[in-house]
Amino acid sequence: MPNQVLDRGHTANLGANTVPGNLQLIGVGASYTIAINGGAPVAHVIAVGHVDTYPINNQPVSVTNTTGAAGPANMTLSW
């Protein structure tokens, strides 16, 4: 499975046909927004020790790590 670290304050734009199935967001108390297939961004927080999973199925998706800019990387995308 590909992995991409998403640093604080950064956005990952994954185009159509990039994620064939599920997108997993793995983080440590990270806040983020996710927009799937051009929809409005929806805000979420990944609890410590939890994985947020979204069925992307080849749709374009954008994830923004909205955690404050100071500090180490705290989110990884996996698909």
- Structural domains for the chain: 3-78 (2.60.120.10)
pLDDT of res. 13: 98
Cβ atoms 32, 75 nearer than 8 A:
yes
CA–CA separation, 1 and 23 (whole Å): 10
What pLDDT, on a 0 to 100 scale, did the predictor assign at position 49? 85
6 or 48, which is more confident: 6
pLDDT of residue 9: 96
pLDDT beyond 90 at 14: yes
Position 29 confidence tier, pLDDT thresholds 50, 70, 90: confident
27-38 in b/e burial notation, b at 16+ Cβ within 10 A?
Answer: beebbbebbbee
- Confidence check: pLDDT of 11 > 90: yes
pLDDT tops 80 at residue 1? no
Q: How far apart are CA 12 and CA 65, in angstroms?
A: 9
